[in-house]
Structure 1
Amino acid sequence: MKFSYPAIFIATICLMWGIPSSARTTSYTANATNCFPPVRDNYVENPRFPGGEEACMKFIADNLRYPAEAEGKGIEGRVYVQFIIDSLGHVVEPRILKSPSPLLDEEALRIVRAMPVWSPRKIRGKAVHTKMSLPIMFRKQYFKTERQTKP
């Protein structure tokens, strides 16, 4: 019979110090009480745009208008907008975190203010306020201009 030296050493120490055998043994068999994970009462449901993340991107793409002045100057970039989703799901207090130009800020804020009601964040079933950030990309290649649509 094969014995591992660490197991024999631990068993010898336990016998020397008088640790009861019930404390030395560990059961690894599954039964009805330990085969399911414990139920947690601190369940968190994150805020959600109606229709999911793809619907949010589609909403932004459909409603975003490139500012004419920014287009004329060739300004492109990503505008980061921070806002709060209140306990009812309304978007409140939008503000610009980072922007390549102030010419793009008003359009980004307009899009965020125009968003429909979200499903709010819930902790243990109770709706709470949540701070969110959203990047809005401005690139001229994404927008159809009158020159591109006319033959």
Structure 2
Amino acid sequence: MFNLNFKAMLGSKIDLFGNEWLDVVFDQKNKTYGAYALRRDSSLNTAKALFIAGTLFILLFLSPKIIHLIKGNNTDEFVSDRKTEVTIQPPPAVNPEMPPPAAVEPPPARENQIKFPPPIVVEDDKVIDVEPVQIKDLAIANPGQKTLAGEEDGTLVVISTPGEGPKNANVVEDNTVYGVFEPLETQPTYPGGMDKFYNYLSKAIRYPAMAQEQGVQGKVFLSFIIEKNGTLTDIKIERKLGYGTDEEAVRVLKASPRWIPGIQNGKPVRVKYNIPISFALSQ
């Protein structure tokens, strides 16, 4: 039966966008089933959904303009065209009978002063030939903006001789302990370089018997201060290895030759240094 109905549907002129084809598909079937109702009303539901979505989109798109138009009608209530005039008090009247204040002249200097204004760059045709100040004139007078004769009761411009500081002042030494990574003019180093220092360690270290018996190997980390005279002080063990290796590391550092100290501002300074000393058994 379905084949006959399908052939009849193909042979007839049925609008696929209409609801006639539903009757052919659901012929002799239960049309109260939900699929028949859904397909029958699908076009109407689609049209309703498109209409509602389009309306919401238009309202959402035009809502800022609508709000702006609504608020724009009430702007006259808040905008005021009133102008405020500010009155400025006039300056006091000038009394023609009162003379202007006299210019305050600086007190006369005790030393002679010769006119020595700063040079001004001008064009060649505007240059005025003026005899320049001679060196011999500056030997008996100070340079200034104009030539003045000194007076005995005048004020001394220079009270003390420039360059003289407090005499017999105590010299303050720089005892700051600098880190090896701080910027110094010259970093401290072992005479001949660090290779020479490790060569010294390899020859000076005596492997402790207890460490040899237990097969202990590793590194002892130490810190010390290189003094201004190159000696090593304040030797501390930062990380121990044990079995007599720590004491041996301290011993070889105390017996180390003097280092070349660090230099800051042209003077030797104290510098803290960290170094590991390795203990390894020969195979």
Q: TM-score range by the shorter chain?
A: 0.5 to 0.7
**How far apart are the structure 1 equivalents of 2:273 and 2:206?**
22
Corresponding residue number in structure 2 for 1:122: 263
Corresponding residue number in structure 1 for 2:202: 61
Corresponding residue number in structure 2 for 1:101: 242
**How far apart are the structure 1 equivalents of 2:234 and 2:184?**
27
Using a 3 Å threshold, how does the CA distance of structure 1 residues 61 and 43 change in structure 2: closer, same or farther? closer
Partners of 1:49 and 1:56 within 8 A in 2: yes
Cα distance per residue 1:11-43 (max 9 Å; x no partner): xxxxxxxxxxxxxxxxxxxxxxxxxxxxxxx86
**Runs of 5+ unmatched residues, structure 2:** 1-182
Using a 3 Å threshold, how does the CA distance of structure 1 residues 116 and 124 change in structure 2: closer, same or farther? same
In structure 2, which of residues 211, 226, 230 is the aligned counterpart of residue 89 of structure 1?
230
Corresponding residue number in structure 1 for 2:218: 77
The range that moved more, 99-108 or 125-134, is 99-108
Structure (1/2) with the larger strand percentage:
1
**How far apart are the structure 1 equivalents of 2:264 and 2:206?**
36
In structure 1, which of residues 78, 95, 113 is the aligned counterpart of residue 254 of structure 2?
113
Q: CA deviation at 1:134?
A: 1.2
Using a 3 Å threshold, how does the CA distance of structure 1 residues 43 and 74 change in structure 2: closer, same or farther? closer
Partners of 1:77 and 1:99 within 8 A in 2: no
Q: Any idea what SS the aligned residue of 1:130 has?
A: strand
Partners of 1:49 and 1:118 within 8 A in 2: yes
Q: Any idea what SS the aligned residue of 2:257 has?
A: coil
**How far apart are the structure 1 equivalents of 2:195 and 2:211?**
27
**How far apart are the structure 2 equivalents of 1:109 and 1:62?**
15
Equivalent pairs counted in the alignment come to 101
Partners of 2:184 and 2:262 within 8 A in 1: no
In structure 1, which of residues 119, 141, 148 is the aligned counterpart of residue 282 of structure 2?
141
**How far apart are the structure 2 equivalents of 1:70 and 1:130?**
32
Corresponding residue number in structure 2 for 1:49: 190
- TM (norm. structure 1) is 0.63
**Runs of 5+ unmatched residues, structure 1:** 1-41, 143-151
**How far apart are the structure 2 equivalents of 1:109 and 1:43?**
27
Name the aligned partner's letter for residue 213 of structure 2.
Answer: G
Name the aligned partner's letter for residue 134 of structure 1.
Answer: I
